[in-house]
A and B are shown apart, each in its own frame.
Chain A
Amino acid sequence: MESLVMDGNNLDARASVVSRPRDGRPGVPGTIPRLVRRLQDFPLFAPSWQQYLVAFANAVTLTLLNLWLQNWIGYQAIALVYLLSIVLLALIISRGPILLGTLLTAAAWNFFFAPPPFAFNMSDFYDNMMLVTYFVVTLTVGHLTGHLRTQRDTELRNRLLAESERLGRSLLNSVSHELRTPIAGIQSASSSLRSCAGVPPEARTLAAEIETASLRLNRVVQSLLSAARLQSGQLRANLEWHDVADVVRSAARDAGPFLDGHPFEIRIDPDLPLARVDHVLLQQALSNLIVNAAVHTPPGTPITVSARVEPPHLLIDVADRGPGIPADQVQRLFEPFCRLPQSAPGGTGLGLAIARGFLEAQGGSIHAGPRPGGGAVFSLRLKLTPMTRVPEE
């Protein structure tokens, strides 16, 4: 999504697009707070020259009003009228303009109303006290309302982010469901047909072809959804202790139907420690690499997955004996939709980008390079975490 701009106006436009909870803002419900919120949503909210103008206009207007009011009320009461105006103003404008308003009104009060009139010097101790109190009250109110507004905006922004994340997730989930349900239909029907008694062998073969195609389609859908999830920035790695051998075996099982006759071998150091990884993400990254190797190497060439420790890292290599990767193309390889010249058709062009994203999401990295003796090797590198001791018996 686009970046959020900290601006009262903009924030609110978004808030109304995303369903806003009833009276969802922090604060007390009621007519007056609602009115205040309205005012706060006014474009004047961001500190700007308009706000300074408002503060200035307020000082001028109030001074004219007070010059008229002084026929009935004393100069101390006039100070209270000024104070009231500044406090009300603090609800809608920010600290800087409030400071200006305070200075102007204090000066006006001192000059026009506090004895001696039409002079800035004040002799009375209580008048000076009043001036000091005036400053303290207006600036405190200005500070507090400013603070509240910042807090409100942070909360609003967080809620908006959470809401848009939730919407994104439910959209992805529903797209996933809508795409996978028909695939489930195809796979279920073709696998039933394949194992049905009395079906002629040619039909059985065709059913098997349909089933393989549905598996591939499912993998494409999986890739697109993974890419969408990566791009939306909603990916959270769920780190847990895992036996890497288990993850490698699961990935190999996922990639199994796509190996197309490539001899496949898993070589895992038996003393491999447990690793703190996200099983689902690592498994998909690995199976993408295995399928990628199977697609881009000549039939019959072997693919090997091996895992070992090189302190402080855990390395998982997916190695093939294919044509290898031109050195100048290695950097581009992990970009989405990257396709190397002379590479085999097929695949979404997302597999490696997803593998990299999924590795980075759990603090790992991925590198590609030539394999000694010919072919390419993709290396997954994960940082090993020291494990808390398992109690012995």
Chain B
Amino acid sequence: MNSQPADPAYKVLVVDDEPQIQRLLSLALRGAGYHVSVAGDGETALAGAAFARQDLILLDLGLPDMDGIEVLRRLREWTQTPVVVLTVQDGESEKITALDSGADDYIMKPFNTGELLARLRVALRHGSLAGVEQPLMRFGEVEVDLARRRVTRAGQAVKLTATEYDLFHLLVRHAGKVLTHRQILREVWGADHESEMQYLRVYVARLRDKLESEPASPRLLLTEPGVGYRLEDN
């Protein structure tokens, strides 16, 4: 397939009740070099995740025996394996609930295989780096020195206020991953300000002004419509 083979064969558990989607996902994932196992319902998925170590779980939220969110919650009780959920297009609240319940990312059905594989790679990298903070990180022309709290763009130092830095640092720590509005507001402004969406909008606009080369068409601080933000991580 189009992508370079995933090194030492990552194991992916595909949870979906539609046989055709199971086949297509298995085919695409095997083609990209992953080891694939398949579960058709929530119970099988939980058992599959418990019996064999998985590197990633691709979870459809509409399962026949239990709510996909419930599967996710039960998984999160004991494992931090990255979980990417599959949702339908109008499921805004479902996406948010899934992310707030510990999903690493979501993909909307219908999906493009190339995009799916790209998302899985990001989630896998994120899973393997969990807890490891590199002192120096680079996103396009923006460089962050976490140890010295310094941000530069194209070699020029960028002055960020304390809150702007906190917000950017949070996004950097979860680079590539979608953070919901609530997650960001709680981390940066505290639980009392969880619903003050306007804070977030204003600060994201300021960060874009300072960090994006073209603030009008952001390439770094991406909006996930109705859900949250993601720091593009290439």
Binding site for B on A (CB under 8 A): 173, 176-177, 180-189, 191-192, 195-197, 211, 214-215, 218, 222, 225, 238, 240-243, 245-247, 249-250, 266, 268, 270, 274, 279-280, 283, 387-388, 390-391, 393
Contact = CB atoms under 8 A, between A and B. Distances in A.
Contact of A185 (B2, B20, B163, B203): B20
Interface stretch (B45-53, B71-79, B88-96, B170-178): B88-96
A222 B62 CA distance: 18
B112 A187 contact: yes
B110 A390 contact: no
Interface of B: 1-2, 18, 20-21, 24-25, 27-28, 31, 62, 88-90, 92, 109-114, 116, 161-163, 196-199, 201-205, 216-217, 223, 225-226
25 contacts: A176-B88, A177-B88, A182-B20, A184-B109, A185-B21, A188-B25, A188-B28, A188-B112, A192-B31, A195-B114, A196-B1, A197-B1, A197-B2, A222-B89, A238-B92, A241-B198, A241-B201, A249-B217, A268-B216, A279-B225, A279-B226, A388-B198, A390-B199, A390-B203, A393-B163
Contacts of A189: 24
A149 to B, nearest CB: 38
A247 B226 CA distance: 9
Contact of A192 (B20, B27, B62, B226): B27
Contacts of B27: 192
Give the residue among A192, A266, A280 with the most B Cβ atoms within 10 A: A192
Contacts of A185: 18, 20-21, 24
Give the residue among A177, A387, A390 with the most B Cβ atoms within 10 A: A390
Nearest to A247: B225
B113 A188 contact: yes
Given A177-B62, A197-B1, A188 B18 contact: no
Contacts of B204: 243
A180 B92 contact: no
Given A247-B225, A250-B225, 10 more contacts: A184-B21, A184-B109, A192-B24, A192-B27, A192-B31, A196-B31, A242-B197, A243-B223, A279-B226, A390-B202
Pairs of residues from A and B, 6 with the lowest C-beta to C-beta distance, nearest first: A184-B110, A187-B110, A195-B2, A241-B198, A184-B109, A250-B225
Give the residue among A173, A188, A225, A391 with the most B Cβ atoms within 10 A: A188
Contact of B197 (A182, A188, A241, A268): A241
